[in-house]
Structure 1
Amino acid sequence: MTDLTVWQTAPFDAIIDHILPRYHETHRRQLDEILPLAEKVARVHAQTFNPQILPLVQYIDSELRGHMMKEERMLFPMIKQGVGRGAAMPIKVMMHEHQDHEQAITQLTELTDNFTPPAHACGSWQRLYANLRELTEDLRNHIELENEILFARVMQL
């Protein structure tokens, strides 16, 4: 995981201003590449590519984009405005969605044999798994920063 100590005492605005480009914008770029790649690999390798992977990637794409939009439009502005514990309910909702994201990551990791492409995998398939590994690592770090630092500190107010 990532070193969170730098964020232990950082102002909430600074944490949010870090999360938006480092994680939200990064995830959108990652998903913009991953989804068409997953569709291509599923189509070209329909006989050997696990049929559960594409729907799971589509689910992750949809859920993560919706989740980030809710944080950007509702929760983060509340935190920046100093609402504090008044943001408890949206924080609980976001943390519950984080659990859903973690479950999807676990399922994806299992379905891809820990993002290990088979020996016969083409370059696109290999790139897909490498990109999925990077997305899931970033997403885990993202969730950890929000849950363990930002949300925990806001809830202590």
Structure 2
Amino acid sequence: MNYQQTPAEKLDTDALLDLILRGYDAAHLEQLPKLHRLARKIEAVHRANPDVPKGITLAVKKLEHSLTDHIERENAYVLKRMEHDQPPMPDTPIAQMNEEHSVIQRQLKKLRQMTRNYRAPGSACRSWQRFYLELNALDSSLSKQIYLERDVLFPRFQF
């Protein structure tokens, strides 16, 4: 399906779910291990450089863990229950998913702070520059996905 033709806010529920699952979730799950490896490499190679954010590898790993767990729970207990505009079961944990979104947003904020809003220093090698560019793209993509879930999809099922 081509999502570029229709604003995401106007997609029907099944198309929006497909965009979230196949577009955002799949891309994020593929990207995070690569970012973790890049962070580890940069911290190891440039450990003497004071511009390297200390703990960046751990921060990326925590985001990877949080997001992987969140996606697994959200897909199993929330998104699957919304297919074909089915009314959600009373135990659908939408509030829990929104709390997890807040945790992920705080982790992204920490990464922005650690990296000076993803601005690589002049001494940064190409890998370091690429890491910041890709981390910035992930931040933007995750923020858009959280908006689509929290502000577009979930309200369709809250009464």
Q: Do Structure 1 and Structure 2 share a fold, with TM-score over 0.5?
A: yes
Q: Distance in 2 between matches of 1:17 and 1:60?
A: 23
Task: Confirm or deny: 8 A CA contact 2:118 2:132 kept in the other structure.
Answer: yes
Q: Which residue of 2 aligns with 1:54?
A: 57
* Paired position in structure 1 for 2:7: 6
Shift >4 Å, 4+ stretches: none
Q: 1:8 to 1:134 in 2, by over 3 A?
A: closer
Q: Secondary structure at the match of 1:146?
A: helix
5+ residue gaps, structure 2: none
Question: Which of 126, 133, 136 lines up with 1:133 in the alignment?
Answer: 136
1:78 to 68, 81, 97: 81
**What amino acid does structure 1 have at the position aligned with 2:14?**
D
Aligned to 2:104: 101
Question: SS of the residue aligned with 1:86?
Answer: coil
CA deviations on 1:22-79 (whole Å, 9 max, x unpaired) are 1001101211321111111111111222212111100001110111111222211111
1:67 paired residue number: 70
Corresponding residue SS for 2:11 = coil
Change in CA separation of 1:7 and 1:154 when aligned onto 2, cut-off 3 Å = farther
Q: Which residue of 2 aligns with 1:38?
A: 39
Distance 1:47 1:87, change over 3 A: farther
The structure whose residues are more often helix, as a share, is 1
- Please tell me the root mean square deviation across aligned C-alpha atoms, in Å: 1.9
1 CA distance for matches of 2:31 and 2:90? 29
Classify the secondary structure of the residue corresponding to 2:78.
helix
User: Which fold has the larger relative contact order, with Cα–Cα distance below 8 Å and residues 6 or more apart in sequence?
Assistant: 1
What is the distance in 1 between the residues matched to 2:135 and 2:59? Answer: 12
Distance 1:87 1:11 in 2: 22
Matched residue, 2:151:
148
Hey, what does 2:26 align to over in structure 1? 25
% same residue: 29
> CA offsets, 1:127-153, max 9 Å, x none?
110010000000000000000000111
Distance in 2 between the 1:8 and 1:38 partners? Answer: 34
- Kept in 1, the 8 Å contact 2:56–2:111? The answer is yes
